Each structure stands twice: as C-alpha cells, then as structure tokens.
Copies of this chain bind each other. A is one copy, B any other.
Amino acid sequence: MSRASPTAVVLVSGGMDSCVAAAEAAQAGFRLAFLHAGYGQRTARRELRAFHEIADHYHVPGELRLVCRLEHLSAIGGSSLTDPGMPVAAAEFVSGRIPTSYVPFRNAHFLSAAVSWGEVLGAEAIYIGAVEEDSSGYPDCREEYYRIFDRLIEAGTKPETHLRIVTPLIHKRKSEIVRRGVELAAPFHLSWSCYRENEIACGVCESCVLRLRGFAEARVEDPIPYRQRLSF
C-alpha cells in the first residue's frame, strides 16, 4: 500500500456505474478505498459479492474496504427496494415520474459515510457513479446536488480536510458509460445491476432495462447472463 498517492473513497454499489467510477479513480492514480452500503435492499447479498469481486480486481486491501449497514433506511421504508410490501415495478423511467424504487435521500447517507471515512483516512476525493440523465428521475442524482454537498463538506469538516466529490459519469448517457468502461477495462463481468434477483438478472426491472439498453446502444455485448432480454 503506497502512501505516496492521494486517496479516493469510491462508492461501490456493485452496479455498472460504480464499476466505471472505480475504473476512473484507478485511472486517475488514486489509492483506492472502497465503500459499500447495504440498506436492506432485496439484492443486498448479490451486490455485496459484486463489491468484493470488483475490489479484488483492483487489489483493494481489506483495511481499505468498508461495508456499512444502513438498516434504518429499510426501517424508514417508502421504497420498493426495501419494503417487501411494495412490488418492484417494471421499467418506469418512461413515465417521467419518480419511480417506486426511489429511496428518500439515500445518497446523502452514502456520501456522509464517505466523508466521515475520508476525513479519517485523509482522503482528497470521493468518487460516485451518479448519472443525471439516465437517473430515472431520482432527485439526488443531479449535479447541482453534488455541488451543494461539496459546500456542506467544506463547512462541516476540519479546516485541514479538503474532500471533493467527483462525479465522472454525471452527464453521460448509459451507452457512453459502457464505452468509457470498455476504454478503461472496467470489469463489467463482475458488476450487478438487477433490482429483483440474486442469481440471474431479471432483464425487465428498470435497472436491467437501462443497462441492457445502454449496452445495446453502445454496440457492446453485456457479459452477464439475463433471464430475459428485451430488444431495443
């Protein structure tokens, strides 16, 4: 573990966007610290496996992997991702409404953990694979949100802490993220995006549909298996 490189905390859900965000942080030469947050979502176990496999791929040592259990997000409810009583709808992104999978103010919990850990590690950057355009309308995936969070970090941490949030994918379309991932040799085969299943991706939930459409538009073969593939 080299202390010469500055450290970046990378939020790694295990999905394709965070996989490419990790590849961007690696490309930029940072020492990588991977943070994963489980919050009682249906696919928590599968996402955690993807997290560790992507971390193995980038040789992230055990002491620079942090897994947070934000069980209270599940207790708070309000989302089909955490509430067993709410079905995960098929792709809703065409509706323009905020989908049922929206977890209220979720990214603030993840970023807060990244800032707390980043301050202790003396890190300089937090990488998050948030995407504005393909974000299904989640309010906390917009660039404005992250720039306000930067100001919050500056106001709420020690004077010697200078942590900035890096959002390398924020203005990219899913197909552009696929192409960029290919350029960076991001390990897409280890990533997991499905909101419904833990073994074979369903291919029809909003997350699967966005992913499959992105690969199709980029004319790249998605390396993971699906139960069902819609054609685009």
Contact = CB atoms under 8 A, between A and B. Distances in A.
Contacts of A155: 139-140, 142, 144-145, 148
Given A66-B76, A113-B109, A158 B139 contact: yes
A120 interface: yes
B116 A106 contact: yes
Contacts of A142: 155
Contacts of A59: none
A78 interface: yes
Contacts of A76: 66, 113, 116-117, 120
A102 B116 CA distance: 11
- Secondary structure call for the A interface: helix
A22 interface: no
A69 interface: yes
A187 interface: no
A113 B145 contact: no
Given A69-B72, A72-B69, A108-B108, A158 B116 contact: no
Interface string A109-126: 101110111011000000
A226 interface: no
A61 to B, nearest CB: 16
A152 interface: yes
A156 B152 contact: no
Interface string A71-114: 11101111000000000000000000010001111111101110
Contact of A156 (B70, B71, B140, B153): B140
Contact of A112 (B71, B109, B157): B109
A75 B121 CA distance: 13
A108 B156 contact: yes
Nearest to A137: B158
Interface of A: 66, 68-73, 75-78, 98, 102-109, 111-113, 115-117, 119-120, 139-140, 142, 144-145, 148-149, 151-153, 155-159
